[in-house]
Amino acid sequence: MDRSGRNGLDRDLFISLPERGYYLGSDFPSFRRYSGLFGLINFPDKDLPYFYPMEKKLILQDIFIYPIKSLGGIRLAEGQVEERGFRYDRRWMLVDETGRFVSQREFAKLALLQVEVGEDSLFVFHKADPNKRLQIPLDRAEGKELLVTIWDDEVTGKVVNEESGKWFSEFLGFKVDLVVMPESSKRAVDPRYAVNEESVSFADGMPYLFIGQSSLDDLNSRLENPVPMDRFRPNLVFSGGEPFLEDQLRKVQIGGVTFQLIKPCARCVMTTVDQKTGEKGKEPLKTLSSYRTVNNKVMFGQNAVALNLGSVNIGDELIPLS
């Protein structure tokens, strides 16, 4: 497309950037007359603002939480936004006898365990045999406090109870405990990425993860066997926009909550675990690495923090602010 613009807009208003949108041209004041038609985001490698047509609305499509780290996720209609992550997201975790976290990276069979949130309890069950079921109190932990390790972080966790530890130990075949993160326990977000000295749950490092549905669609177009979004364990999935638009967004508003997208999420072998069968393969990491590798890390999705508390709902518009 040439500089004549589209929809009859001023000739100098837009400079074409094929397949990516349009950069603001020399006639900036005239843009105000079209402010209802376009939305503004920053494009990181340019000094000029980046615009995209608002007919391509960004809509919050999915909200997910993962109450017990590395177990099955739950899709919500509404998410309560807290500093550490959505309410109940990764507030529980399995640890071995040294206090180190246990995950699907080493024990893929954890994918076979699904979690539900009840009125006053968590329920864990085997996907293939729902009768193998464990009830966990939401607000009560009876065991001792201990230091637990998530990557390079050490933080205080509290053992839930002996019954839970025994149930998970029998499933895995070695001794583990289920711990919960007390409200008094603070695990700081890496200072390089924190905005307001945020804290985080037992998640790998950041409170929230955004992925655009178009990004998964792009990946699946390259795969012989498409994969579902659950391979990537996002918290917020939005529809609309081009593939990997999340890489360009910096600050967005959803409902009354503002999120700041901080950095890309490096992916690991956990993406190769089929969440229905617990079987591990090579995809999608093999294909993803062929076009999404930066500094020897495979990137997919954007980590984020919430700048205020509140709630978000499926169907809310995601509005780029900067």
Q: For residue range 282-307, what is the model confidence (pLDDT) as tens digits?
A: 999 999 999 999 999 999 999 999 99
- Please indicate, yes or no, if residue 20 is contained in any of the structural domains: yes
* Average pLDDT score over residue span 161-182: 98
Total tally of structural domains belonging to the chain: 2
Distance, CA of 159 to CA of 141 (rounded, Å): 6
Distance, CA of 241 to CA of 214 (rounded, Å): 7
Alpha carbon of 236 to those of 58, 59, 86, 305, 321: distances in Å?
12, 10, 10, 12, 17
State the pTM of this model: 0.84
Residue carrying the six token digits 């990946």? 219
Distance, CA of 211 to CA of 223 (rounded, Å): 18
State yes or no: pLDDT of 59 exceeds 50.
Answer: yes
pLDDT at residue 46 in the model:
40
* Average pLDDT score over residue span 11-32: 32
- Please indicate, yes or no, if residue 99 is contained in any of the structural domains: no
- Please indicate, yes or no, if residue 112 is contained in any of the structural domains: no
- Please indicate, yes or no, if residue 266 is contained in any of the structural domains: yes
* Average pLDDT score over residue span 22-37: 31
- Please indicate, yes or no, if residue 163 is contained in any of the structural domains: no
**Selection from 178, 100, 105, 78 nearest residue 137 by Cα:** 178
- Domain residues for 252? 193-320
* Average pLDDT score over residue span 221-238: 98
Distance, CA of 171 to CA of 192 (rounded, Å): 38
Distance, CA of 76 to CA of 83 (rounded, Å): 18
- Please indicate, yes or no, if residue 86 is contained in any of the structural domains: no
**Selection from 117, 120, 155, 115 nearest residue 133 by Cα:** 115
Higher pLDDT, 5 or 252: 252
pLDDT per position as a tens digit, 128-162: 999 999 999 999 999 999 999 999 999 999 999 99
Structure tokens of 53? 């047509």
CA 105-106-107 angle, 5° bins: 100
Q: What is the mean pLDDT of the chain?
A: 87
- Please indicate, yes or no, if residue 36 is contained in any of the structural domains: yes
pLDDT at residue 259 in the model:
98
- Please indicate, yes or no, if residue 178 is contained in any of the structural domains: no
pLDDT at residue 113 in the model:
98
pLDDT at residue 307 in the model:
98
Question: Is 161 in a helix, a strand, or coil?
Answer: coil
Structure tokens of 143? 């065991």
Distance, CA of 181 to CA of 263 (rounded, Å): 25
Q: Note whether 145 and 56 are within 8 A (CB).
A: no
- Across 16-25, 37-46, 209-218, 264-273, least confident range: 16-25
Distance, CA of 286 to CA of 214 (rounded, Å): 19
Q: Tell me, what CATH number does 198's domain have?
A: 2.40.33.20
